Amino acid sequence: MMTVIALSGPIGAGKSTLTKILAADLGSQAFYESVEDNPVLPLFYADPAKYAFLLQIYFLNTRFRNIKDALVADNNVLDRSIYEDELFFQMNADMGRANQTEVDIYRDLLHNMMEELKTLPKKAPDLLVHIDVSYDTMLKRITKRGRSFEQLSYDPTLETYYKTLLEYYGPWYENYNYSPKIRIDGDKYDFVESKEDQTAVITQIEDKLHELGQL
């Protein structure tokens, strides 16, 4: 049975780590978001107001490609998907980093892409796995992975950006309705460092997949 799992969660939630763990456990292909080779991301962190629109178009394009590939492939796991994309752009727009013309162009493009997905044999993921984390856990993981442009020492105003991002995720998760969904407590379960917690999280996800008839 073909099963598509999409992960969601803020920066530093551990999505890539859990994607790797899940893919190995389920014998799935892992789809990772382009970060290390993203030419726009460092520009955005250096000048968010100038590059917010360009960054979102870059991410939207790569997320669209990944979800198309995932929905027609065999079993697979995505560490982030197109379904989260508007959350980031809406937040940046609310922060004054995108003008109305950019907002209109972005939303029209996203709408066209979502309509295109409806033509695929599988229309959406079978399960969304959302990782909830507190600001402290988020910051600890951001610090550990060491990308210079993500650090508060690089830009102290990132504290506001990160905290605002966490505020947007609650309503986004509640309103997500493309597929069944499950929340993972990323503070309680340190699946990044603890094998025991990895097992607990995998069990939760597998139980949900059994409930859905996907395992």
Q: Is 118 annotated as a binding residue?
A: no
Coil/strand/helix, residue 4:
strand
The structure tokens 């950019």 sit at 102
Torsion of CA 177, 11, 211, 70, to 10 degrees: 80
Q: Is 157 annotated as a binding residue?
A: no
Q: Is 141 annotated as a binding residue?
A: yes
Catalytic residue check, 79: yes
The structure tokens 């590939």 sit at 69
Q: Is 33 annotated as a binding residue?
A: yes
Amino acid letter for position 49: A
Q: Where are the alpha helices (DSSP H) in 134-194?
A: 135-145, 158-175
> Could you give the strand order of the β-sheet that contains 4-8, starting from the edge strand earlier in sequence?
29-31, 76-78, 4-8, 127-132, 181-185
Q: What is the CA radius of gyration of the chain?
A: 17
Q: Is 13 annotated as a binding residue?
A: yes
Q: Is 126 annotated as a binding residue?
A: no
User: d(Cα 203, Cα 201) in Å, to the nearest integer?
Assistant: 5
Q: Is 17 annotated as a binding residue?
A: yes
Catalytic residue among 25, 37, 74, 79: 79
Q: Is 150 annotated as a binding residue?
A: yes
Q: Is 97 annotated as a binding residue?
A: no
Strands 127-132 and 4-8: parallel
Q: Is 11 annotated as a binding residue?
A: yes
Asked if residue 114 lies in contact with residue 178, where contact means CB atoms within 8 angstroms, the answer is no
63 token code pair: 């997320």
The structure tokens 């309509």 sit at 115
- Binding site residue list for ATP: 9-17, 141-145
Binding residues: 9-17, 33, 45, 56, 80, 85, 141-145, 150
- Binding residues for substrate, as ranges, are 33, 45, 56, 80, 85, 150
* Residues with catalytic function: 79
